[in-house]
């Protein structure tokens, strides 16, 4: 077997900054996901069910949209590309072929992500990463110029996607949304009329107390997720950021760019000066302007021009703080080292806390309390991850993924 003599990256070879950045991303990805888990999107503020609110809810909601929404999944995508380069270097250093190994790695991530998506969480990102990861193999040897040029085109391509749907009248994501409704109807699950369309009843999904029905509805929700990805042009955005990640990984590994303070400061400042104003305007339009075709176009444009620059600014700023040895950032390392396990754990604990078959707290909390709950869950993850890594080399899901990918017996205990 080709991978017999290839080992996972050793502890001494890990880059602390990447673990810290991954851990921070897991926190803020959760602050985005918990909004959906908690039911804020689906239970209006004036509903009798919303009983735990604070005056700060609207302010924090706006700040989260401006400063967090999309930025940390972008960083996570960047890290995925960097990880691809690390794996490529590790394999080629051992004289092994990269493509067969990476296909196995993506295949097993697709299995893990597919189970997560179809059975548990319609907001899953692992499946999308795995599917796009197969195509990433074609770019791992491309020149830096090709990577960056292609990345810019792909990050702007959602504008083409929007224009095609708008001017042609061909709303192709609708096929996925229609399929979700058909699955709900086939299983006799609740549906509602929304904007003239028959759609799955997501409120009933979150309030549902029957585990079997939960899995049936999740199958339908899978196609809602596919429809949203197609509608947003997320395929193009994510893959473009992957390519920037490959470029960044080369710079980190081959040119030690994390020690280039001047470059990091430049990325931080430019990203902030470009990204922050665009995101403030985007947030203003989202919260205070009625939705029209023009505002929808601006959303797509603002996401392309504002989200990635601000995400890169965050990544560079964190690199500068790590370089200055800001010790509290070390708290994020254990979560970053066990990111896959923690990402999946967040789904498990959130469904138990909020959904009808758990503690049935969905829709009861305003934004501030939801963020508090999310922070408490993450603090628990920090503690549990640190304790786990005192006794084990990998997180449980990291160990399983590595074992399946490398095809060897891996000791999990230290």
Query: For the segment 27-49, what is each residue's pLDDT rounded down to a tens digit?
Result: 999 999 999 999 998 887 777 88
DSSP string for residues in 17-57: HHHHHHHHHHHHHHHHHHHHHHTTTTS-TTSTT--B--TTH
Q: Name the 3-class secondary structure at 365.
A: strand
Dihedral angle over CA of 48, 50, 56, 60, nearest 10: -130
Domain boundaries of the chain, sorted by first residue? 1-69+340-414
- Report the pLDDT value the prediction gives residue 14, as an integer from 0 to 100: 58
Question: What's the CA gap between 299 and 414, in Å, rounded?
Answer: 49
Q: What is the pLDDT of residues 154-188, one digit of tens each?
A: 999 999 999 999 999 999 999 999 999 999 999 99
Region 393-399 average pLDDT: 96
Banded pLDDT at 2 (limits 50, 70, 90): very low
Section 383-398 average pLDDT: 96
CA 36/CA 34 separation, integer angstroms: 5
Judge residue 291's burial from the number of C-beta atoms within 10 Å of its C-beta, 0-12 exposed, 13-18 middle, 19 or more buried: exposed
- Asked if 110 contacts 127 with a C-beta cutoff of 8 angstroms, the reply is yes
Residue 84 has pLDDT above 90, yes or no: yes
pLDDT band at 89 (very low <50, low <70, confident <90, very high): very high
**pLDDT on residue 324:** 93
- At 281-306, the pLDDT tens digits run 999 999 998 888 888 888 888 888 89
The sign of the CA dihedral 271, 277, 278, 284 is positive
Ramachandran region, residue 96 (left: φ > 0; alpha: ψ -120 to 50; beta: rest): beta
pLDDT tops 80 at residue 18: yes
Query: In which element (H, E) is residue 388 found?
Result: helix 367-391
pLDDT in tens, 57-83: 999 999 999 999 999 999 999 999 999
Q: What is the pTM of this model?
A: 0.93
Mind listing the pLDDT tens digit for each residue in 337-374?
999 999 999 999 999 999 999 999 999 999 999 999 99
C-alpha–C-alpha distance, residues 160 and 157, integer Å = 5
Does 10 have pLDDT greater than 60?
Answer: no
- Please report the pLDDT score of residue 398 as a whole number: 96
Instruction: Tell me: pLDDT of 197 over 90.
Output: no
- DSSP character string of 161-194: HHHHHHHH---TTHHHHHHHHHHHHHHT--EEEE
| pLDDT band, residue 151 (cuts 50/70/90) | very high
Mean pLDDT confidence for 186-198: 91
pLDDT confidence of 1, banded at 50, 70, 90? very low
pLDDT at 217: 97
Q: What is the mean pLDDT of the chain?
A: 93
> Which helix H or strand E contains 197, and what residues bound it?
strand 197-200
Specify the pLDDT at position 271: 97
CA 333 to centroid of chain Cα atoms? 18
Q: Which are the contacts of 10, defined by CB distance < 8 A and separation ≥ 6?
A: none
């Amino acid at each position: 077997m080709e991978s017999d003599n290839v080992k996972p990256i050793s502890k001494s070879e890990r880059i602390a900054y990447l673990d810290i950045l991954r851990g921070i991303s897991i926190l803020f990805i959760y602050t985005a996901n918990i909004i959906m888990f908690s039911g804020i999107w689906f239970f209006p503020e004036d509903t009798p069910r919303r009983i735990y609110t604070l005056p700060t809810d609207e302010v924090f909601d706006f700040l989260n949209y401006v400063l967090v929404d999309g930025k940390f999944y972008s960083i996570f995508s960047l890290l995925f590309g960097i990880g691809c380069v690390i794996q490529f270097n590790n394999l080629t250093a051992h004289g092994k072929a990269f493509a067969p190994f990476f296909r196995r790695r993506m295949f097993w991530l697709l299995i893990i992500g597919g189970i997560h998506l179809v059975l548990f969480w319609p907001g899953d990102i692992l499946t999308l990463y795995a599917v796009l990861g197969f195509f990433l193999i074609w770019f791992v040897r491309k020149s830096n110029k090709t990577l960056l040029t292609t990345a810019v085109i792909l990050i702007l391509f959602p504008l083409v996607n929007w224009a095609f749907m708008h001017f042609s009248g061909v709303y192709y994501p609708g096929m996925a949304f229609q399929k979700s409704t058909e699955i709900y109807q086939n299983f006799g699950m609740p549906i509602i009329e929304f904007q003239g369309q028959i759609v799955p009843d997501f409120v009933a999904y979150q309030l549902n107390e029957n585990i079997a029905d939960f899995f049936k509805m999740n199958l339908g929700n899978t196609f809602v997720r596919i429809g949203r990805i197609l509608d947003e042009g997320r395929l193009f955005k994510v893959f473009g950021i992957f390519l920037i990640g490959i470029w960044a990984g080369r710079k980190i590994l081959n040119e030690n760019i994390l020690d280039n303070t001047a470059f990091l400061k430049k990325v931080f400042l430019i990203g902030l000066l470009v990204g922050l104003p665009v995101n403030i305007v985007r947030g203003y339009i989202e919260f205070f302007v009625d939705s029209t075709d023009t505002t929808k176009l601006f959303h797509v444009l603002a996401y392309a021009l504002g989200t990635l620059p601000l995400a890169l600014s965050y990544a560079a700023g964190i690199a500068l703080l790590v370089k200055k040895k800001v010790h509290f950032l070390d708290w994020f390392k254990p979560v970053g080292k066990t990111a896959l396990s923690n990402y999946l754990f967040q789904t498990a604990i959130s469904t138990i806390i909020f959904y009808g078959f758990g503690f049935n707290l969905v829709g009861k909390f305003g934004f501030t309390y939801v963020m508090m709950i999310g922070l408490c869950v993450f603090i628990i993850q920090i503690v549990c991850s640190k304790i786990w890594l005192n006794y084990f080399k990998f997180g449980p899901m990291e160990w399983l993924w590595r074992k399946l990918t490398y095809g060897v017996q891996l000791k999990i205990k230290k």
